[in-house]
Structure 1
Amino acid sequence: MEALKASYGDASSDSDIDDPTPVNMGSRMPLPPPPLSLLNPPTSNPLGTLDLLQTGQPSRVRSFPHVDGNYALHVYIPVYIPSIPKKELALFLKRISSLVPGLHVVDVDVPLDILCKDDLKLEQVALGREFHISLGRTVPIRVHQIDSVVAMLRQKLQFQKRYWIDFSKLQVFVNDDRTRTFLSIEVITGGLAEIKRQIHAVNEVYRLHMLPEFYKDPRPHISLAWALGDISDSLQRVVEDEMKRSNVGGSAQKCIFTSKFNGIECKIGNKTYKICKFQDE
């Protein structure tokens, strides 16, 4: 299995990192104050005692530095894993974690081996959250670009048909600067054509705002776990061996799980915008 560059950004606020292409913002200019919703992070922790699990973990740093007046932009399809494949994937992650040290859960960044001590917590924390299929690179934008970006995304993607997305292939990805390796599930059949059309629309909006477009050969996926550095070779071998032994991702014909397309969202800073409506609504 070939290690591929990750179109990383299948995530919430903490996953808007490691994007390889920073934006040259040029000279600074006076800006209006940002909306309060962008500055006030949520205070509740939906995972309860998760903070206790995160103590001592390696921190993940954005590849583009924070600049006052800049906010991370991420456009994505939200995805949830159904309950039955969630149990199968939990067992698979448990075996992978025992063989590959240093894996962390994407987004919440909890060490995977800690969660593997409790099967229920492994399912809830590692697989029970919202995943993301990125439709564009995670990039910084200026405050004065926010309204324009959101309006154009809605114009390009305002009406969408519902369709099914087949997650069929376990894949190892590496980000552009080879500082992170990701264990992901790739979309290679059902839903691929629709997602690529949506990526094309997002690219058009990015282009008009002088933002870097997505990869020329996009590989839509969700990421389950990450590790520091490029460990793609060792992770590939373990994943391939475990796929042969398990029912998860054993062949391109067998779908690991299927999810219905339920919309597109755009996250800017701490605020999430709904981008599309459905033609049947």
Structure 2
Amino acid sequence: MEALAALQASYGGDASSDSDTDDATPVPTNSKEFPSPLPPPPLFLLNPSNSTPVGTMDCLQAGQAARVRSFPHVEGNYALHVYIPVYIPSVPKKELTLFLKKLASLVPGLHVVDVDVPLNSLYKDDHKLEQVALGREFHISLGRTVPIRAHQIDSVVAMLRQKLQFQKRYWIDFSKWQVFVNDDHTRTFLSMEVITGGLAEIRKQIHSVNEVYKLHNLPEFYKDPRPHISLTWALGDISDSLERVVGEEIRRFNVGSSLHKRIFTSKFGGIECKIGNKTYKICKFQDE
């Protein structure tokens, strides 16, 4: 964590900053600078064949150290985020580190999600690249990040626990590389998507979260949720070039490797709800 804090400090971040208190105006897609903080993170999926939107996404991992709400700050409001924590196991980290190292040399302007450190500043040190880019907690979002009032907090947490109080453990397969772009085309993200193992369970959990949101007049999640975690971001819409490079490198990197068929598998470890700076444990397991 010392290396992470030092890197954040050198690039203007703060390892202990409250990411939910920053506000910013989205920058034009053609901007040549890297503004901070980031614009709002909602995404839509791109069709690899023609780059047309085919489904709305919500990438909430984007820029945690300088993450910006997609809604204005209002005194007395608290940002609500419901998610599954995910950690990448040590074995696939090694292969992913090599893959990101190669991408850093081929795609300029890639940054590490959450800490906003340029990827090419890390690729000469494999250990540092692995620690900073892959050694942190990732989130699979189960609902939109939305503002709630103080008097709603207890009710939201209680209803989430009621709906999701008992869960079975299951395995989550991250088996597809996917490129996303946010709504105003100011950021492109490289993500790993859940398309097989764990997808049905996650969608059921999203449905339960939606029910709680509806009861509190909060906007529901997208109709066709595509669970994922994101690793890197770049300024503007570079989806075409990033998809091309990623596709070429997956084929060239190691045909038949885990990166080609299944990137990694993670065991479902629970559901958390972050409201402002406070994190709530939402579910228990039936075998406990």
- Secondary structure in structure 1 of the residue aligned to 2:217: coil
Shift of 1:156: 0.5
The corresponding residue for 2:6 is 49
Give the superposition deviation at 1:208.
1.1
2 CA distance for matches of 1:198 and 1:135?
A: 7
- The question of whether the paired residues in 2 share the 8 Å contact of 1:81 and 1:128 is answered with yes
CA displacement 1:214-266 (0-9 Å, x = unmatched): 11111101100111221111111111111111238979982111100010001
Match of 1:92 among 94, 99, 112: 99
Sort the Cα spacing of 1:142 and 1:184 in 2 relative to 1 into closer, same or farther, 3 A. same
Which is worse superposed, 98-107 or 118-127?
98-107
Partner of 1:36: none
Match of 1:215 among 222, 228, 231: 222
**Paired position in structure 2 for 1:110:** 117
Cα separation, 2, equivalents of 1:115 and 1:252: 21
Indicate yes or no: 2:75 matched with 1:68.
Answer: yes
* Aligned counterpart, 1:129: 136
Deviation at 1:75, TM superposition (A): 0.6
Q: Aligned residues: percent identity?
A: 81
Q: Give 1:47 shift.
A: 2.7
Matching residue of 1:185: 192
The size of the alignment, in residue pairs, is 238
**What's the TM-score once normalised by structure 2's chain length?**
0.78
Write the letter of the residue equivalent to 1:113.
N
Answer yes or no: is 1:270 the counterpart of 2:273: no
- Contact 1:248–1:256 at 8 Å: present in 2 too? no
Q: 8 Å contact 2:250–2:259 — kept in the other structure?
A: no
Q: Distance in 2 between matches of 1:131 and 1:206?
A: 23
Q: Against the structure 1 CA distance between its residues 248 and 226, is the aligned structure 2 distance closer, same or farther, given a 3 Å change threshold?
A: farther
Of 30, 43, 58, the match for 2:35: 58
Computed over aligned residues only, the root mean square deviation of the Cα atoms, in angstroms, reads: 2.1
1:243 maps onto 2:200 in alignment: no
Q: CA offset at residue 268 of structure 1?
A: 0.9
Extract unaligned runs of 5+ from structure 2.
Answer: 14-33, 40-67
Question: Could you say what secondary structure the match of 1:47 adopts?
Answer: helix
Matched, 1:261 2:268: yes
Which structure 2 residues correspond to residues 128-207 of structure 1 after superposition, within 5 A? 128-207=135-214
Q: Normalising to structure 1: TM-score of the pair?
A: 0.80
User: What SS class does the counterpart of residue 160 from structure 2 fall into?
Assistant: helix
CA gap of 1:248–1:108, structure 2 versus 1, over 3 A, is farther
Contact 2:83 2:141 (C-alpha < 8 Å) held by counterparts: yes
What letter corresponds to residue 178 of structure 2 in structure 1? Q
User: What is the SS of the residue equivalent to 1:218?
Assistant: coil
Unaligned runs of 5+ in 1: 1-43
| Contact kept in structure 1, 2:250 and 2:260, CA below 8 Å | no
